[in-house]
Structure 1
Amino acid sequence: MQIRHPDFVIWFGETSRRFYVMDDDGLHEFADTDAVLLFAWQRTARPAHRAAQHRPVGFDDGLDDLRETLTGPLRELIAARPDLAHTPAQMAGER
């Protein structure tokens, strides 16, 4: 547990038979490892928030609608990463 949560100091009290966690807020006492892991998860878990940058493709959309939907994000990706814009001929020449 200590390796996975380096921001905490975690130890087991042999006399008290309880787990202790020291963090920026102080000392915390827990009865078992499940409680320690839940505490660590609540303190460190950051849900990834991703905003939709394009409209989702519905199942009833045709191939043309799919191409139109993907064109914008693909062009943005290629503009940001020109190294990804290789043609098949260029890829064959690189090998």
Structure 2
Amino acid sequence: MPPKEVVRIEDDADRWRFLCPRGHRTWEPTNHHFWCQLCARRDDADGVFYELRDQKTDALLKRDRVQLLTDSGPYDHDLDGGAQ
């Protein structure tokens, strides 16, 4: 299995690189999925999603293939706890 893609959620460069599937940077991690503020404001979209778009590769990365890191360590210890 390939290593997880590391996303440092408090890093400006990573926030510009990784987007919600609709292309917004206003996403936040929540309880094993993601939420986008701009998508949530739309009548035709749901703010909840399960994949981040990597602008560098244009790949959609499922939540379990992403290791979210904060300055304090892993965001979700059960998903992100181990270094891959």
Shorter-normalised TM range: under 0.3
TM-score, with normalisation over the residues of structure 1?
Answer: 0.24
Larger radius of gyration: 1
Q: Which has the higher strand share?
A: 2
Determine which structure has greater relative contact order: mean sequence separation of CA pairs < 8 Å that are 6+ residues apart, divided by chain length: 2
